[in-house]
Amino acid sequence: MTLGERTNTAAAAATARVGREQRWDPLMASNVNTIALGLSKDPNPKTTMLLFWPGASTPWGAAKLPCTDGARRAVARESAFLLEVHRTFSGSVMHTIPRRLSAFETDLPDGAMVVRALGGTPLSVAYGRWNHLRRPEHVKHDLEILAAWLQEMQSTTTQAHGPIELSEPILARVRARFGSDPMTDRVLRALEPVAREFAHRDGPKTVVHGDLWLGNVLVDDTEVTGVVDWECAELTGEPLRDVARFGLTYALYLDRRTRAGRRIRGHHVRAGPWGIGVTYVLTGDGWFPDLVRDYLRSAMSRLGADPACWRGLLLMGLADVAGSADDDSFARRHLLLLDQLRESVR
């Protein structure tokens, strides 16, 4: 039994202990211990709390508490998605997607949601360790277990096949958000040939997470045990979006432990302007960009895209973040990076 399955079993036992009570507040009950994981830093913050039975070493549940009207809408979207995805699909990969515990919602604060806890540690913890990104075997392992999870999730949730719908919706969101900025026209014109690279290709339509980054992926030593924060999810969407998003975020923080101007240990690149890790993958040489490119090409082949267009996929991924990120400054940084890269990757 995997760590995620053991945790889900514990959560099921916790649900049974509540029985048929109609009014029970899991956040205030005297027989439940809580640990606050912290307040998210995005413009619509939420507090996440882990719920434990006294003496237990693993949580049986997790509560997400929205702090603004925008956060309440986001949690409501996630809640509706989690209910629907578990109604629609089955299979072992569904144990890695949180299950909503609706029996506990009667007395929760406005807009709050409780889900079964998932086992594992955020991949961002290992990523941030001192030597992790200096070792090709560590990076390869991270990318391989994420790719294996994506393949299983996407094959389990495939509902149809059709034209790859990557370019038009992404560029429309960028235009809607930054249309008044002269830089937007430059970027959109530069992306037109990239968009044509994906035209006339067909692929599967699957569940899409929409914000697949290191902090939302839970792992143990051998596999992905859970993926959390499905606020941006789609029940039927373009799976290449998740492929690109994870590749970008994995490269984005490569220089987080290195002062600007100094060489990043283990890599042929110096820390510098924001996004240097992404630039390194797109234009540099070395084992790190090679591993990220292999991850991209393999997934693109599986999903019907031309693997030779991996640069175009990353550029569309940057545009996707620019058009959809909750934080305006974070979104604009991705647009600026696109503007800087449009010539160098042509």
**CA neighbor of 121 nearest in space, from 231, 3, 210:** 3
pTM comes to: 0.89
**Cα Rg for the chain, rounded, in angstroms?**
21
Cα 104 to its chain centre, rounded Å, is 27
Residue 32 has pLDDT above 60, yes or no: yes
Residue 188 region, left (φ>0) first, then alpha (ψ -120 to 50), else beta? alpha
Separation CA 180–CA 241 (nearest Å): 25
pLDDT, tens only, 233-279 = 999 999 999 999 999 999 999 999 899 999 999 999 999 999 999 99
Tokens of 19: 């029985």
Q: Mean of the pLDDT values across residues 83-90?
A: 97
Instruction: Report the pLDDT value the prediction gives residue 83, as an integer from 0 to 100.
Output: 96
pLDDT at 141 over 80: yes
Instruction: For 177-222, write each residue's pLDDT tens digit.
Output: 999 899 999 999 999 998 988 988 999 999 999 999 999 999 999 9
User: What CATH architecture is 3-117?
Assistant: 2-Layer Sandwich (3.30)
Q: To the nearest whole number, what is the mean pLDDT of the chain?
A: 88
Amino acid at 275: G
Q: How far apart are CA 335 and CA 320, in angstroms?
A: 10
Domain spans in the chain, listed from the N-terminal domain onward: 3-117, 122-341
Q: For 161, left (φ over 0), alpha (ψ -120 to 50), or beta? A: beta
Q: Is the pLDDT of residue 27 over 70?
A: no
Q: Is pLDDT at 4 greater than 70 in this prediction?
A: no
Asked: is 122-341 a CATH 3.40.50.720 domain? The reply is no
Handedness of CA 131, 42, 179, 273 (dihedral sign): negative
